[in-house]
A = this chain, B = another copy of it.
Amino acid sequence: MNFASDNVVGASAPVLEAILRHNGGAMPAYGADPLTLGLTPRFRALFEHADLSVFPVTTGTAANALALSVMVPPFGLCLCHEEAHVMEDECGAPEFYTHGAKLHGLSGPGGKIAPDTLDRFLSGLPRHVKQMPARALTLSQLTESGQVYAVEEIAALARIAHAHGLTVHMDGARFANALVALGCPPAEMTWRAGIDILSFGASKNGALAAEAIVVFRPDLAETLEFRRKRAGHILSKGRFLAAQLDAYLDGDHWRANAAHANRMAARLAAGLAEIPGVRLAWPVQGNEVFPILPAGLDAALRRAGVVYHAWTSRSLAEGDRVGEGERMIRLIAAFSTTEAEVEDFLVLARRAA
């Protein structure tokens, strides 16, 4: 049993089939192929936005960093949650792609930035040439604590950001899981709420290696293709990226995958909640579960061969601190996690408790 991440599993069957299906025959290289060209109308329809641009890449780090590279000048600040992936897990990719912009982390429970926190920070910023001016905000949907921003929260944050001259990015590495959780159309959770650029993740939810940078403001898209090229992120056989995204979207495969993963996470959470001494750091809203459990139970699960990450976070609410003799862990359900795996895990946990 491996709940370490949603990227420890392979790709979904439809994604692999699409790769095979489009392998034959000659197609223009570097994204001039018909599959890649077809992504634009497809994403425009999906997001109900006539002018968006879409740039496929192979990794979430590339998607985020390229997005930020057109949003923040080298001398600008980019605001994010203090535990955001861009801040903690990308080895400085945003700094590399922006040529030295600075990420500034804001704190907040559940990995979420509260509108008030943002407003207070922006209003208090000194405006002297000695200080880097704030130019962008990036939100993670799901957050690093598995939480979902409500549409109104996104809208409130974007409103404040825009009022201060910032652009707004969404790191949607787990976009589908959040979308399914909210049950709203993609447009609602993004540009209608004020998102200017979205990193649309697919790798964690069934693709082999495919993400899409979706740019809702045409002026921000102007230089992205050059930047993508010089970053080495235009595949010569572009068809293979496009084929993955096509299969991912076909027949709501992506939503089905995410719904399944969310369901498995909810079941894990429900089962764990019944075990004495176990509580959740945050409510399960997507496909991530953060139990706080007795150290003995943690050890027993590991001894039994269950794979998952130990977790620490500054985003716990007051009063939720991990006590002596307790451990926080992270369990992630993937599109391919089976009910049997979940049941086996819960049986094991109950027995060990």
Contact = CB atoms under 8 A, between A and B. Distances in A.
A129 B229 contact: yes
A276 interface: no
Interface string A117-129: 0000000000001
A11 B208 CA distance: 15
Contacts of A194: none
Contacts of A28: 4, 8
Interface stretch (A18-26, A45-53, A313-321): A18-26
A19 B2 CA distance: 21
A61 interface: yes
A131 B91 contact: yes
A74 to B, nearest CB: 7
A61 B228 CA distance: 11
A230 interface: yes
A219 interface: no
B29 A93 contact: no
Specify which of A22, A63, A95, A99 lies most central, judged by the most chain B CB atoms within 10 Å of its CB: A95
Given A8-B26, A89-B131, 18 more contacts: A4-B28, A8-B27, A9-B25, A10-B24, A11-B23, A58-B235, A61-B232, A73-B226, A74-B227, A74-B230, A90-B130, A95-B95, A96-B99, A129-B225, A129-B226, A129-B228, A132-B226, A231-B232
